[in-house]
Amino acid sequence: MTARVLEWVLQEQRAGHRVAMASVLNTSGSVPGKTGARLAMSSRNETWVGTVGGAGLEKTVLNRCRELLAEATAPFAEVHTYGLNKGAKGYEVTPLDSLCGGRVTVSLEVMIPMPHVYIMGGGHCGEALALCLDRLEWSYSVHDTREEFVSIEKYPTAQMRSTVSADAVFSEETAETLQRFSDVLLLGHDWAEDQQRLLALLHLVHEAGLALNGVEAPRVGVIGSRSKWQTFEAVCLEAGIPSTLLAQVVCPIGLNIGAQTPQEIAVAVVAQIMAAYKNVDPNEATWRQS
């Protein structure tokens, strides 16, 4: 059972879904589930597998998993000790309406998929970005209409390499499959191709009623100047993309750290993605000079 639950968790994570996993840490007395029992729930329609023993304990744990999946936007863990009797007492013990009489301690962990960045444009910035992502052991895929810019030599660890036309790159995607990407970054050598990619992606997201937040749909970023974005924005508005969705696109991408070279830009972009993944404000000071 444990192996099956863990395999399912990895499968859901690869598909871009958040997972809450409950594990029985220890027990005493009469309890429905023994140490090591596990269940996991996915953010995908709240589907779940495994068991922590059934009965009222399992119902309580499943309800808490639902709450955590609705609340948590970053990796999170907590531990609860349940007394399986409605009259149970003790320090930090949650009583349950049960006649078992035992006690069980359960850990609840929310696992957020590691970033999977879709690099759209395999030029200098894309290569530098892929190297940074490799160092962090994050995943990436790459698209470029030029075959030589998505080669295995340039991108040896890419999850996927695509050379279809810019207007067809999202034609086989759905709201469900898009969730495997945490971020889609438009780094193309041709602004017209980036514009086509952006329109196709935003149409798909808009029709599905999703938000570009890395949970419902990937975050979207565009490399380039403010004037470039204003041109893209005007074309998208004319095509029926709502301004509220356009406001969620990040342009220019990367933290403002004075980056100029492809390598520096990659650091700035990866830092921005990490801040979103960790759910922290990069502008908030975390240290003070003595």
pLDDT of residue 261 exceeding 70:
yes
Span 29-65, pLDDT tens digits:
666 668 888 999 998 888 999 988 877 788 888 999 9
The residue type found at 41 is M
Angle at 159 between CA 154 and CA 162, to 5 degrees: 70
- Structural domains in the chain, sorted by start: 2-111 (no CATH), 116-278 (3.40.50.720)
Angle between helices 191-208 and 226-238 (to 10 degrees): 50
Query: Which helix (DSSP H) or strand (DSSP E) does residue 220 occupy?
Result: strand 219-222
Q: What is the pLDDT of residue 248?
A: 96
Residue 260: φ, ψ to 5°: -130, -50
Q: What is the pLDDT of residue 1?
A: 65
**Per-residue exposure over 63-88, b if at least 16 CB sit within 10 Å of its own CB, e if not:** ebbeebbeebeeeeeeebbbbbbeeb
Span 196-220, pLDDT tens digits:
999 999 999 999 999 998 888 999 9
The residue type found at 282 is P
Cα–Cα distance, 216 to 67 (Å, whole number)? 17
pLDDT of residue 92 exceeding 70:
no
Average pLDDT of the chain to the nearest whole number: 88
Span 146-190, pLDDT tens digits:
999 999 999 999 999 999 999 999 999 999 899 899 999 999 999
Q: What is the pLDDT of residue 274?
A: 93
**Mean pLDDT, residues 108-120 taken together:** 93
For 168, other C-beta atoms within 10 Å of its C-beta total: 13
pTM of the shown model: 0.81
- Give the residue with greater pLDDT, 214 vs 118: 118
Q: What is the pLDDT of residue 215?
A: 82
The residue type found at 108 is L
Q: What is the DSSP letter of 232?
A: H
pLDDT of residue 91 exceeding 50:
no
Torsion sign, CA atoms 94, 100, 101, 107: negative
53, two tokens: 């023993």
Q: How far is CA 134 from CA 75, 129, 157, in A?
A: 21, 9, 8
Give 164's strand partners: none
Q: What is the CA radius of gyration of the chain?
A: 23
CA 182 remoteness from chain centre:
5
Q: What is the pLDDT of residue 290?
A: 43
